[in-house]
Amino acid sequence: MSSPMTPGIAAARLPQETLAENFDDLHAAFAPHEAAVAADRCYFCHDAPCVTACPTDIDIPLFIRQISTGTPEAAAKTIFDQNILGGMCARVCPTEDLCEQACVRELAEGKPVEIGRLQRHATDTLMAKQRHPYDRAPVTGKKVAVVGAGPAGLACAHRLAMHGHDVTIYDAEAKAGGLNEFGIAAYKSTDDFAAREVDWLLGIGGIEIKPGMRLGDELTMESLTHCFDAVFLGVGLGGVNALRSEGEDKDGVRDAVDFIKDLRQTGDLAALPVGRDVVVIGGGMTAVDAAVQSKLLGAQNVTIAYRRGRDAMGASRYEQDLATSKGVRLMFNAQPVAIHGNGAVREIELEYTTDGGSGLKGTGETVRLAADQVFKAIGQTLTTDGGLELEGRKIAVTTTGRTSRAGVWAGGDCASGGDDLTVTAVAEGRDAAMDIHTFLMG
């Protein structure tokens, strides 16, 4: 039933069986014999370009050789030594733009070694074992606060705990995981994998998670720096940019991140309402995830409207092609100017744009699209900076994550310098942990 305030938005557009099929695993896991065949395609390059392309510097030829010799658990250890969230990264990392793009097979044949799926095969194999693969060093007596239980915070906490420090993670949400839990398309992380990965990571010991605590509310920088020997901030980007278009406050207009979060947390996809005519504003991964999942929930017409050209999109070409393969229309050089409707959105008005080298400009020519639901996916913003020095709109940090305040580090999406990717956040959390360890041990 659609709400009287939001005509056209309804739940249960598709039967349960169809929804289950639509939201099944995007890439099926390798069977052991499939992994062996895929691993045999690797040239095991000495100066492997795929390693250079990996933000976490995983020794990719080594772990693939370990798979090819029938030791996937050793391969997983090679991965986890560099990236403790290698299981999730194998599912969501844009390998087509990173390691696989650099693969010699890709350059020679146009078909790279399937590094991502091989990484998943290895990590899933080891994670299925009962015992955590790492032991803690002797307890140091040092205490570290980690604010934010996303990829950066979790990677930092695990590395610190491994070195014997006691870690307390604070997070604003009721569940740990950050964007891995709340912000990734459901078909990329199935079977509650994000939560299971957090539980597995906590097997190192020495880490306590305190949910429902947000920096700036229950937590202050003063209290954290007073009670702990060091602090790491991995608070992410909690705010969403406004469209700044007339009618943005109409019913049926909402943030794409909230829609994805609701979808990830629902126990019944058929209960999640979606429009018949959906328009997503933006050009990044969040825009693609919102658009594709709208289509998979049963929306008839779904359009991504992006203000620049295809090459400027934040979403990779692979993700763009995935969207179109699911029936999503991509509309380029179009920016929103107004949302029309009597209380609830009925149409969105877009202006065509051009960029002649002196900046993006509207042409004055407009078009209207039918829309009963509009999702905003035009970038996220920092909601709390802890009073730290900023670089642009993010917390200013050194290469090892040190902020302007002594004893405080930051990493992940909230910090300056890196790409807003899970794998980058893991690398920044890991590297900050090592610098914190050096600092704590004198």
Position of tokens 């990173």? 98
Residues 6+ apart with CB under 8 A from 187: 22, 23, 24, 25, 26, 292, 293, 296
**Residue 356: its pLDDT value, please?**
81
What whole-number distance in Å separates Cα of residue 383 and Cα of residue 400? Answer: 23
> Which numeric CATH code is attached to 242-376?
3.50.50.60
Per-residue pLDDT of the chain (442 residues; tens, 9 = 90+): 334 447 789 999 999 999 999 999 999 899 999 999 999 999 999 899 999 999 999 999 999 999 999 999 999 999 999 999 999 999 999 999 999 999 999 999 999 999 999 999 999 999 999 899 999 999 999 999 999 999 999 999 999 999 999 999 999 999 999 999 999 999 999 999 999 999 999 999 999 999 999 998 779 999 999 999 999 999 999 888 999 999 999 999 999 999 999 999 999 999 999 999 999 999 999 999 999 999 999 999 999 999 999 999 999 999 999 999 999 999 999 999 999 999 999 999 999 999 988 889 999 999 999 999 999 999 999 998 999 999 999 999 999 999 999 999 999 999 998 788 999 999 999 999 999 999 999 8
Calculate the dihedral angle through the C-alpha atoms of 240, 148, 193, 419, rounding to the nearest 10 degrees.
60
pLDDT at 130: 82
Spatial separation of the C-alpha atoms in residues 34 and 330, rounded to whole Å: 35
For residue 218, the 8-state DSSP code is: T
What lies within 8 Å, CB to CB, of 199 at 6+ separation is none
C-alpha count within 13 angstroms, C-beta hemisphere, residue 24: 9
The class that CATH gives domain 143-238+382-440 is alpha beta
What is the reported pLDDT for 439? 98
- What is residue 8's predicted lDDT score, i.e. its pLDDT? 85
- Does 242-376 match 143-238+382-440 at the fold level? yes
Residue 334 CA to residue 370 CA, distance in Å, equals 15
Report yes or no on whether pTM surpasses 0.85: yes
Which ranges constitute the DSSP H helices of 240-342? 256-265, 285-297, 317-325
Residue 358 is predicted with a pLDDT of 84
Q: Which residues contact 215 (CB under 8 A, 6 or more apart)?
A: 147, 170, 172, 221, 233, 235, 384, 386
Helix/strand/coil for 133: coil
Where do the domains of the chain lie? 32-127, 143-238+382-440, 242-376
Q: For the domain 32-127, what is the CATH superfamily, name and number?
A: Alpha-helical ferredoxin (1.10.1060.10)
Radius of gyration, CA atoms only, the chain: 23
* pLDDT number for residue 18: 97
